[in-house]
Chains A and B, each alone.
Chain A
Amino acid sequence: MDRIPILKLRDLLLVTIQVDMHDRLAMQLQDELTSRISETGARGVLIDISSLDIVDSFIGRMIANTAAMARVLDAETVLVGMQPAVAITLVELGLTLPGVRTALDVDKGMALLESGSRGTAGTTGSGSSSPDARRPG
């Protein structure tokens, strides 16, 4: 059976969806991503959909659910690379992906996640772990 690879890079998980996903594969990705966040303690999830030529309500729901589960597990999700025709269609379909942060490409998505984790580390001032250890570079 197909499987969509999840890559770990520092404290981020990266997923590039390159196949036209059937519904079971989408659900499997949602479950695996949630497990991997928990196992790795990842602080961010970047989902690249630049290869997807449609996002229907099922895939949209999978993305929104993944972002919601990630948030509960203290990780931010950024969706990147949505094609313009997909964006136009999604909005007409009525799916606005509430609670999902987006960026135009992987570079901007990474920047968003890095600034987000710094902001969180700075504002919460948690003394239990060193915020500096999480800062890339």
Chain B
Amino acid sequence: MPVVRAEAVELRSAADVVSVRQIVRTWAIEAGFTLVDQTKMVTAASELARNTIDYGRGGLARLELITEGTRRGLRIAFEDHGPGIPDVQQALTDHYTTGNGLGLGLGGAKRLVNEFDISSRVGEGTRVVITRWK
């Protein structure tokens, strides 16, 4: 799958969540997303970036503008080297939370995108990849 453009954004503080939202918005516009699709992708990215900071002790968001045949898409990987998630299925359940959140982050983000992939190893970290197609 050809990658048109790629960029990595550091996720360390609450201000980085705002930066990621703004970068994802710009890229989603470039990918030709409708306003609703832009909003969904930016919101999903906001949830996952916050998870990376709050639960993963910080990490990276890797953005890729991709093409497959004639369609364009935006793929973002959120990576951390935090404690990992012991039970991924449970973490995807709505209203399950170990922190102070609503527990909508992972499951909610999954509903806002076309493709969602999560892999996590306890003690090594977590990687969540989301893709939305135009």
Cβ-based interface call for A110 (8 A):
no
Q: How far is the CB of B99 from chain A (nearest CB, A)?
A: 11
CB under 8 Å from chain A, chain B span 88-134: 94, 101-102, 104-105, 107-109, 111-112
Chain A residue at minimum C-beta to C-beta distance from B94? A94
Q: Which residues of A contact B8 (CB under 8 A)?
A: none
Which residues of B lie under 8 Å from residue A23 when comparing CB positions? 14, 17, 50
Chain A 42-72 residues near chain B, CB threshold 8 A: 53-58, 60-61
Partner of B36, one of A57, A85, A95: A85
Known: A85-B36, A85-B39. A93 touches B17 (CB 8 A): no
A23, A61, A84, A95 — most chain B CB neighbours (10 Å)? A23
Inside 8 A of B47's CB, which chain A residues have their CB? 56-57, 93
A86 to B42, CA, bound (A): 11
Which residues on B sit within 8 Å (CB–CB) of A93?
43, 47, 104, 108-109, 111-112
For residue A92, CB closer than 8 A to chain B, the reply is yes
Count how many pairs of residues, one from A and one from B, have CB atoms less than 8 Å apart in the complex: 71
Interface assignment of B35: CB less than 8 Å from any CB of chain A: yes
Residues of B with C-beta under 8 A to A115: none
Residues in B whose Cβ lies below 8 Å from that of A84: 36
Query: How many angstroms between the C-alpha atoms of A83 and B36 in the bound complex?
Result: 10
Indicate if B57 sits at the interface (CB-CB under 8 A). Answer: no
Contacts of B75 in A (CB 8 A): none
A20-B21 CB under 8 A given contacts A85-B36, A89-B43? yes
Contact A61 B15 (CB under 8 A): no
Contacts of A94 in B (CB 8 A): 94, 104, 107-108, 111
Where the two chains meet, the residues of A that have a C-beta atom closer than 8 Å to any C-beta of B are: 20-24, 53-58, 60-61, 83-86, 88-89, 92-95
